[in-house]
């Protein structure tokens, strides 16, 4: 019942059928008892509910609607849940194709629940393992109710936001804010060091003040050591900023801070940091500050 990114499914305590483009990434799940199928179409044909988590709009559309795509295996009574972070247009396109088969569709966007007791990680990998995700959902309410018990295995809370597209746009706004916050936090760490302050003290000062955010406390210490263990890949943060810029453009809303942050992530990508955690965006500032 699951295709695409495997990060979020380590502790599914129900029958699971899997497919991933790179089959070896399914191995940990197969060794835990999951069944493997040879294509998204076969997964969808075999399962009542199919959950897809793909990298970006192109792959999400391809896996749902392309050759051997999930839509070919869908039909009345079945449900398709897309957990990829995509724009609302992509979500609507996939929804249309799935619903044409008689199946129902739910878009689900996830982010992590920031508990003060969380281990020093961010992104959704560890929170998924711990069942600490937050889900933003939109689409068929009956499917939302049907998959609620599954979401509750992985998550701490969930929101049903209404029509298709609402979840995607809410997620893009959240991740736009997050990407800008990380970029400016990186600037603060770099500037503090340059002017002879201890960046670890800066993290502590920020953590105790009104601008405190769990993300700073969780990622700051590893950023100071130039360590970026991947929880949320930098390439996906840049993708979300790009999609948020498109969203803003569609309603003529200026978002200059996010636009500037996007440029910094693009520099980091060009430095080969795409698969590092998005906190590696700080590296883009290091190259700029070389004398």
Ligand X SMILES: NC(=O)C1=CN([C@@H]2O[C@H](COP(=O)(O)OP(=O)(O)OC[C@H]3O[C@@H](n4cnc5c(N)ncnc54)[C@H](OP(=O)(O)O)[C@@H]3O)[C@@H](O)[C@H]2O)C=CC1
Residues that bind ligand X (CB under 6 A): 4-5, 7, 20-22, 25, 53-56, 59, 62-63, 84-85, 110-111, 123-125, 231-233, 236
Residue whose CB is less far from ligand X, 101 or 238: 238
DSSP state of 84: S
Ranked by CB distance to ligand X, the top (closest) residue is: 5
111 lies in the site for ligand SSN, by CB under 6 A: yes
> What does 63 interact with, of ligand X, ligand SSN, none (CB < 5 to 8 A by kind)?
ligand X
**From 2, 228, 232, 265, residue interacting with ligand SSN (rule: CB under 6 A):** 232
Q: What are phi and psi of 283, to 5 degrees?
A: -65, -30
**What x/- string results for residues 167 through 186 when contact with ligand SSN is judged by CB under 6 A?**
--------x-----------
Residue of 91, 2, 15, 92 whose CA lies nearest to 53: 2
**From 4, 123, 179, 188, residue interacting with ligand SSN (rule: CB under 6 A):** 123
Shortest Å distance, C-beta 87 to ligand X = 11
**From 59, 90, 124, 169, residue interacting with ligand SSN (rule: CB under 6 A):** 124
Please spell the DSSP secondary structure of 204-268, one letter per residue.
HHHHHSTT--HHHHHHHHHHHTT----SSBHHHHHHHHHHHHHHHHHTT---HHHHHHHHHHHHH
Residue whose CB is less far from ligand X, 110 or 176: 110
Residue 160: strand pairing partners:
137
Return the active site residues.
171
> Do residues 279 and 235 lie in contact, with contact meaning Cβ atoms separated by under 8 Å?
no
Shortest Å distance, C-beta 53 to ligand X = 5
Shortest Å distance, C-beta 77 to ligand X = 26
Shortest Å distance, C-beta 171 to ligand SSN = 7
**From 2, 105, 112, 144, residue interacting with ligand SSN (rule: CB under 6 A):** 112
Q: How far apart are CA 114 and CA 260, in angstroms?
A: 26
Handedness of CA 34, 35, 40, 43 (dihedral sign): negative
> Do residues 118 and 131 lie in contact, with contact meaning Cβ atoms separated by under 8 Å?
no
Tokens of 175: 């991740």
Going along the chain, which residue ranges are E strands?
2-4, 17-19, 35-36, 49-53, 79-82, 104-112, 133-139, 155-160
Residue whose CB is less far from ligand X, 49 or 52: 52
The footprint of ligand SSN (CB under 6 A) covers 85, 111-112, 123-124, 175, 232
């Amino acid at each position: 019942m699951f295709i695409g990114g495997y990060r979020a499914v380590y502790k599914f305590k129900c029958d699971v059928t899997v497919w991933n483009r790179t089959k070896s990434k399914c191995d940990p799940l197969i060794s835990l008892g999951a069944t493997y199928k040879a294509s998204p179409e076969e997964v969808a044909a075999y399962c009542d509910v199919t959950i897809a988590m793909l990298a970006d709009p192109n792959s999400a559309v391809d896996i749902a609607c392309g050759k051997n795509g999930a839509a070919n295996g869908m039909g009345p009574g079945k449900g398709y849940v897309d957990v990829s972070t995509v724009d609302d247009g992509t979500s609507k396109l996939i929804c249309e194709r799935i619903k044409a088969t008689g199946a129902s569709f739910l878009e689900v966007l996830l982010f992590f629940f920031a508990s003060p007791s969380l281990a020093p990680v961010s992104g959704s990998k560890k929170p998924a393992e711990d069942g600490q995700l937050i889900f933003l959902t939109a689409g068929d309410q009956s499917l939302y109710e049907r998959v609620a018990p599954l979401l509750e295995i992985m998550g701490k809370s969930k929101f049903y936001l209404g029509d298709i597209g609402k979840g995607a746009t809410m997620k893009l706004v959240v991740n736009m804010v997050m990407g800008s916050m990380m970029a400016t936090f990186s600037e603060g760490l770099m500037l503090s060091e340059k002017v002879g302050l201890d960046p670890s003290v800066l993290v502590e000062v920020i953590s105790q003040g009104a601008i405190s955010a769990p993300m700073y406390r969780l990622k700051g210490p590893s950023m100071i050591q130039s360590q970026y263990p991947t929880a949320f890949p930098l390439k996906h943060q840049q993708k979300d900023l790009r999609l948020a810029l498109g969203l803003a453009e569609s309603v003529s809303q200026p978002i200059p801070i996010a636009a500037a942050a996007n440029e910094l992530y693009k520099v980091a990508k060009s430095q080969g940091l795409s698969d590092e955690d998005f906190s590696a965006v700080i590296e883009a500032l290091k190259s700029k500050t070389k004398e």
